[in-house]
Structure 1
Amino acid sequence: MKLVLFDVDGTLVDSQNIIVASIRGAYQAFDLEPPSRERSLSIVGLSLVEAFTVLAGPKAPVEALAQAYKDAYNILRLDPANDAPLFPGASECIDRLKARDDVLLGLATGKSRRGVTLLIETHGWEGVFATTKTADDAPSKPHPAMILQAMEELGIAPDDTMMIGDSSFDMSMARAAGALPVGVSWGFQPVAALNEAGAARIVDSYAALEPVLDAFLAKPSYLPA
C-alpha cells in the first residue's frame, strides 16, 4: 500500500485571488500597507501565524493579523467572484486514484481544519482521504510533522509515501520526512524554488503527473528487514 499526499492551495485549488484579497483585508484592518501580490503568494503553504511572521516580521501583531485574515476570508468567500476552483485535471486525478486499491490518499495543508472540511464538502470528497493534516494538527510546513503523523497513522513507510505540492515548503517537508517530493509548476511559487528545495520531479499538468504516479505505485513496497 502506498500513500499519496496532496497540498491544497496552489496544488488542488486555484485560491490565489481570495488569498491575496484576504491578506490585503487583514493589513487594511490595521492601517498597514499590504504586501505585493507576488509577496503575498510566496507564503502560501505556511500556517497563518507563520505566514504573517514572514510577511510582517516577528514584531508585528501576527496573531491579530491571522485572525483578521480569517475574518476577511469568511466574508470574501461568500461572493461568487471569489470562488477558488480546482485546477484542470485535479478532480479527475483524485477520482482515478480513489478507485485504486493499492493507494491511500491524504491532504497535508496549511489550511485550518474548518477550511479543509469545507473543501471536502464542496467537492463531494467525503470518505476519499484516509488522512487530513492541517494547521490545527501539526507545526507549520516545512516541519515534517504533518507527513510523519500521516505515515504513523496509516502504517505507511517513508519510501511508500509521495507528497505533491506547489511550494518549497512542501518539498522541504517531504525531504525531512523521507517521502518523495513531487512539485507542480502551476502553483504560487516559481519552479526554481521547488528545485532548490529538493523536488525529485516537477510536472506541468495533472496529465503529466499520471505517469509519475503510475511509476510510483508500481514499484514494490518497502519491507523493513
Structure 2
Amino acid sequence: MSFKAIIFDLDGTLIDSLEDLGNATNRVLLKNNFPTHTMEDYRYFVGEGVVALITRALPEEIRDEATINACVGEFREDYRKNWNIKTKLYEGIAEMLDSVTLRGLKMAVLSNKPDYFTKKCVAEFLPKWNFERVIGQRDNVPKKPDPAGADEIAEHLAILPSEILYLGDTPIDMKTATAAGMFPVGVLWGFRPEDELKRSGAQRVIHKPQELMKVIDH
C-alpha cells in the first residue's frame, strides 16, 4: 500500500499532555469542591474535546449544563496559563517525524483539542517539521469521530483518502479514519490499550514511533 500523507492526532500520539490536562481539570474541580481524579482516570476522560473532558470529570449528579459551561470556562482559563508545564514530545517522535519527512510524505495534525491550543502546541513542540494543515476543534465544525476535519485535510492536500494513513491513540481516532476512508493505525504509547484500538477499526497497531516506517514501507 502506497501512502502519500499522514494525519496525526496530537494528544497521546505526538505529545504527552496528560498531566497538564489532568492537573488543570483537578484544579477546577478543587475550586468548586468536587472530588478530583487520578491521571489513570484521565486517560479515559480525554480525546473528545474539553466539554466531554469536564463532563466526565464532574460528579454524575452535577452534570447540568450551567455547571458544565462554568467549569469549561474555568478550565480554559487555567489551561491557557498552564498548558506546557509537563507536556512534552513522546520519546521517538522526533526521529519518526524526520523519517516521514525524508520519505516525502505530507503531514497534518487533527485534534479534538480546541483549535487555538492545537496550533499553539504544534508551534511550541513541533516547530521543526512542516505540517500542511493543523486543525483543532472549532465552533460549528463537527469534532472527531465525524470525518469533517479529515475530509478537509484530504481536500486541501488533493490526496485521495485511501492514500492517507491516520495515526492516533484512541478509538475516536480509529473511527475517524474509518469514516473518512483512510488507513487507521493505532499507537500504544498513548491513552488507550490495544484491544480497544482494534475493536474500533485499527488496521495496524504499533508499540514504538519508529515502527510506523514498517507500515509505510510495506
Same fold by TM-score greater than 0.5: yes
Which shifted more, 2-11 or 38-47? 38-47
Q: Which residue of 2 aligns with 1:131?
A: 133
Instruction: Give structure 1 regions of 4+ aligned residues with deviation exceeding 3 angstroms.
Output: 53-58
How far apart in 2 are the matches of 1:143 and 1:26?
A: 29
Matches within 5 A, 1:1-225: 2-56=4-58, 59-60=64-65, 61-77=67-83, 82-101=85-104, 103-123=105-125, 125=127, 128-136=130-138, 138-215=141-218
- Per the TM alignment, residue 30 of structure 1 is displaced from its structure 2 partner at its CA by 2.3
- Structure 2 residue ranges without an equivalent (≥5): none
CA displacement, residues 77-99 of structure 1 (integer Å, 9 cap, x when unaligned): 46xxx321111110111122223
Which amino acid letter does the alignment assign opposite residue 189 of structure 2? Answer: W
TM-score, normalising length: structure 1: 0.85
Count of residue pairs the alignment pairs up? 211
- Per the TM alignment, residue 54 of structure 1 is displaced from its structure 2 partner at its CA by 4.0
Which amino acid letter does the alignment assign opposite residue 62 of structure 1? Answer: I
In 1, are the aligned partners of 2:89 and 2:125 still within 8 Å (CA)?
no
Whose strand proportion is higher, 1 or 2?
A: 2
TM-score, normalising length: structure 2: 0.87
How far apart in 1 are the matches of 2:87 and 2:37?
A: 21
Give the match's secondary structure for 1:107.
Answer: strand
Which amino acid letter does the alignment assign opposite residue 172 of structure 2? Answer: F
- Structure 1 residue ranges without an equivalent (≥5): 216-225
Q: What is the alpha-carbon root mean square deviation over aligned residues?
A: 2.1
In 2, are the aligned partners of 1:50 and 1:140 still within 8 Å (CA)?
no
Give the match's secondary structure for 2:166.
Answer: strand
Identity %: 27
How far apart in 1 are the matches of 2:195 and 2:40?
A: 15
1:124–1:5 Cα change, 3 Å: closer
CA displacement, residues 26-54 of structure 1 (integer Å, 9 cap, x when unaligned): 22232222344333221322111133334
Which amino acid letter does the alignment assign opposite residue 74 of structure 1? Answer: R
CA displacement, residues 53-112 of structure 1 (integer Å, 9 cap, x when unaligned): 34446525222222222222233346xxx32111111011112222333x2100011122
How far apart in 1 are the matches of 2:150 and 2:82?
A: 31
CA displacement, residues 183-209 of structure 1 (integer Å, 9 cap, x when unaligned): 000101122211111111110001212
- Per the TM alignment, residue 11 of structure 1 is displaced from its structure 2 partner at its CA by 0.6
